């Protein structure tokens, strides 16, 4: 059985973004995080976001949202 991270990578990025956009329609973002990650990873995330024509921070938020709700998404 694939682990949680593998499940996230298998999911369609466009579907992640749509799901997160629907959530954001009713929930305001009210927290800010600051984290350090390797530049190569951030560059790859920015490339993925560019291919979807979305801000990279929205892509990161959509993945974090899906990760936080992975158990609910299984049902």
| Stretch 40-63: mean pLDDT | 90
Residues 64, 31 contacting (CB under 8 angstroms):
no
The count of domains in the chain is: 1
Contacts of 13 (CB under 8 A, 6+ apart): 48, 52, 59, 62
Range of the domain at 54: 4-74
Is the whole-model pTM more than 0.75? Answer: no
Residue whose C-alpha is closest to residue 23's, from 71, 60, 69, 74:
69
What per-residue confidence (pLDDT) applies to 32?
92
Residue whose C-alpha is closest to residue 22's, from 74, 62, 72:
62
What per-residue confidence (pLDDT) applies to 74?
59
């Amino acid at each position: 059985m694939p682990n949680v991270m593998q499940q996230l990578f298998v999911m369609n990025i466009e579907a992640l973004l749509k799901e997160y956009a629907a959530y954001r329609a009713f929930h305001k973002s009210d927290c800010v995080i600051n984290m350090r990650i390797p530049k190569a990873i951030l560059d790859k995330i920015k490339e993925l976001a560019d291919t979807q024509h979305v801000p990279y921070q929205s892509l990161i938020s959509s993945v974090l949202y899906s990760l936080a709700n992975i158990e609910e998404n299984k049902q």
